[in-house]
Chain A
Amino acid sequence: MKKLIAGAILLGASSMAFAQPGCGVGAMIWKGQSGIAPHVLAATTNGTFGNQTFGMTTGTLGCSTNQSVQSMAMYMDSNIDKVARDMSRGSGENLDTLAVLLGVEEADRADFRQVLQDNFATIFPNSETTSGEAVDAIVALLEQNKSLSKYVAA
């Protein structure tokens, strides 16, 4: 099933120009959006502009062999500010999505949320943190946790 979910993400992503999905990806948090204007126009005629995809830059994240971690990295890259928000609150749908992507079982979800909230400052040490660094930090944290380490095993 994990494979399937990863596939679903890749399928969706295939419309965008990804160079290396899941590895070497890192969007800076709170990067800021550019330009509302084109969207307003796009909305006028319900069109789509090809260049509205997210800026993908080559970051620090190495290519994880764990496909779930790759999926998580990809999701974080597009939604890092929302993931950070939910993480600081210890709840929220984006945190649930991370759990789904990592395949965290229902019984471990509360632990998962708690670990991420408690270690927020470790995962996001400053406002320049990239999604790649955050993913690395999450993997490192989960590896040290007895019940959660199995979800990030390579």
Chain B
Amino acid sequence: MGYLLRTGQAALWLAGTLATHNAFASTPENLYEHPVWLTLGHYHENRFDSGYTSQADDPAFFLSEDGKTNPKTELMATLAAIQQPGEGDDHARCRFPARDAWLREQLDLPEEPVSCPAYEGWFDTLNTEKVTLVFAASYLNSPSSMFGHTFLRLDPPQDDNETDLLLANTISYAADAAEHDSELLFAYRGIFGGYPGITSIKPYYEMIRLYNDIEHRDLWEYTLNLSQHEVDTMLAHTWEIQDKNFDYYFFDENCAYRLLALIDVARPGTDLLEEVSTHAIPSDTVRWVRDKDLVESIHYRPSAATAVSHSLESLPDEHQTIAAAIANGYVKVGDPEVQQLPAGDKARLLDATYDYVRYQSEADNWPREFAAPLSHQLLVSRSRIDNAKPIPPVKEPTVRDDQGHDTFRLSLSSGQLAHNEFTELTIRPAYHDIVDPPEGYRTGAQLQFLRLDARLYHDNDELQVEQITGVEIRSLSPRNQFFSPTSWQVGFGGRRTDTGTQRVLAPYLEGGAGGSWSLGDNSQVFAMATADLEIDDDIRRGYDFAPGADFGVLHQSPSVSLLAGIKTKAWIVSSQHRQDQLYLKANYHIGREFSLFTEFTREDHFDRYQSTWQAGIHAYF
């Protein structure tokens, strides 16, 4: 019955403190510039003048006509509205409980209880004692999810057996694409704006289903150390912004951003939004929350993909073979080689096989006619074994995502291109290179954004852009007897290309697909078929295209990352020349702040050999 008590507290707090009736007279001149008021209104200083603009894009969020750009009139309008007689859901005090409480506290307005049935019902139903920031990590074979996703979970009191975290509610902020259809348009508008962003509330089990089960993303739960008063303030403000439109932008005003604003409201002075410059990557926002000492405890919830791999790996080798045979229909659940196993072994075999069949049915669309009866047989057989020791839970990774290297990388190196010495500076705003320190990131995955490589050639003091990487995505996931994922890569940007007589900066588009196989010990080999397109008027026909292949080996360990291989491309439109490359990249990691790196490329193109080597240092911020 804790929630009844809490409602009382909230009402007290909502009513503010007892004091004088003389409100307007005592309003300080610049109260509208108070950080809490600006946070509550989502106001930010204008870039070019001294005014403010709110990020809310919804007239319903403002009480004053020019509230979006004028925190002062908005404050006066709010102050007038909350002192109007009356009550009920449409009253300003019920629509803006957090503003109401703060203004009453600041101005010592009298306590006047107000009845807000909708808000109070909502507040009681949420029954929140703690708030947990949940981070959905990226998933290996979907680097587009690499930025991760964050949402807040509203945890009910855990002191009795009448509540359950699966049933807890969550707050998310996301682009509302429901009414729109084209996927390309979705990506475009998601990045450049144009989608309304909405705050929505869903039960946690639904989020688990979406992220853990369907998208195969591990969930990290960071329970915040907010007090009950701070939690209540956050809820009051959530009520204010719920269903209000804040335009959604993929890079900055995204899912993570709006949640940071909620935490700022809950604990004034936290200023998490101060940390956001050009982009708010969810994994970075988790770091900021952690660095502001907001985290009380951390819990790990492995994804279906992580859990099923773990279940299978925990079986002895010969049982793994049986599991694969059952899942593929070569061995029946009722066959003696399954049923004659000792009860404990049999239980673990059936559990792992069931998890695998379910996983494959969802991830790989196994036909229901096959998978459903098999699933049923597995569970019926399993239900006959009592008190079996369960498969031990997945071990929490020793390095969490938020403990991985910082995502902004600055590199300085020097090297030689065919005996021309150069110094190279590289700026990479985000996110992870396959040879960066691997801990806290998915093995074999890479996502780089807006990377610029600039070279200063020493003999003629010429400054050249070597490469601009728009986006570069790579996903190497090993295949084995249970899983057969495709490894793939895609990228575009501008790069120096050899026309035979000169090196020109040409726009390029490249892609590839193939397979990867584990060598054990943090290593894998891969083979990819590739395709390259380059466009430039210095190329004879204006563009050139090359099918090709890339074979290599990748090793990733906390101290050393190594990528080596051979690439061959056959340019078939303009130059008609083969381009063969031997490449080696080695990084030696000093903690997760710095890496010493060296790269060597030996190339055969236009019937001549040419070597490039360089060495330098990466620093991660």
A interface vs B, CB < 8 Å? 1-2, 4-5, 7-9, 11-13, 15, 29-33, 36, 38-52, 75, 78-79, 81, 84-85, 87-91, 93-94, 96-97, 99-101, 103, 105-106, 109, 114, 117-118, 120-121, 124, 126-128
Contacts and interface: CB of A to CB of B under 8 A. Distances in A.
A9 B167 contact: yes
A128 B375 CA distance: 11
Contacts of B250: 45-46
A46 B163 contact: no
A115 to B, nearest CB: 11
A89 B383 CA distance: 6
Interface stretch (B57-65, B143-151, B332-340): B143-151
B127 interface: yes
Interface of B: 1, 3, 122, 124-127, 139, 142, 144-145, 147, 149, 156, 161-164, 166-167, 169, 172, 174-179, 183, 186-187, 190-191, 195, 200-203, 205-206, 209-210, 214-215, 217, 248, 250, 254-255, 282, 347, 351, 354-355, 358, 361-363, 365, 368, 371-373, 375-376, 378-380, 382-383, 386-388, 390
Contacts of B358: 30, 81, 85
Given A5-B167, A40-B142, A120 B379 contact: yes
Nearest to A121: B380
Contacts of B347: 89
A51 B161 contact: no
21 contacts: A2-B162, A4-B3, A4-B124, A7-B125, A8-B125, A11-B126, A15-B200, A33-B362, A40-B215, A45-B175, A45-B187, A47-B175, A75-B167, A81-B375, A88-B354, A89-B382, A90-B387, A93-B166, A97-B167, A100-B162, A103-B162
A78 B209 contact: yes
Given A85-B354, A100-B167, 5 more contacts: A4-B124, A11-B122, A11-B126, A12-B169, A12-B203
B257 to A, nearest CB: 11
A41 B187 contact: yes
Contacts of A48: 172, 174-178, 200
A4 B122 CA distance: 11
Contact of B383 (A87, A99, A105): A87
Contacts, number: 185
A78 B213 CA distance: 13
A105 B380 CA distance: 27
Contacts of B186: 41, 45, 47
B362 A45 contact: no
Contacts of A124: 376, 379-380
- Max count, chain B CB within 10 A of own CB: residue among A11, A88, A128: A88
A11 B142 contact: no
Contact of A105 (B156, B161, B214, B351): B161
A71 to B, nearest CB: 9
Nearest to B365: A32
B383 A118 contact: yes
B190 A88 contact: no
Contacts of B209: 78-79
Contact of A85 (B1, B183, B379): B379
A30 B178 contact: no
B202 A88 contact: no
A33 B360 CA distance: 11
Contact of B361 (A30, A45, A85, A103): A30
Contacts of A32: 361-362, 365, 368, 371
A96 B371 contact: no
Which of A31, A49, A50, A106 counts the most B-chain CB atoms under 10 A from its CB?
A: A49
B202 A12 contact: yes
Nearest to B255: A46
A127 B164 contact: no
Q: Which 5 A-B pairs have the closest CB atoms?
A: A50-B178, A45-B190, A120-B383, A12-B203, A47-B175
A49 B177 contact: yes
A106 B175 CA distance: 42
Given A78-B206, A127-B375, A44 B127 contact: no
A9 B203 CA distance: 7
A106 B161 contact: yes
Contacts of B149: 43, 46
Contact of A47 (B190, B361, B390): B190
A40 B187 CA distance: 11
Contact of A46 (B126, B174, B361, B376): B174
Contact of B145 (A11, A44, A75, A128): A44
Given A15-B201, A33-B214, A88-B383, A44 B177 contact: no
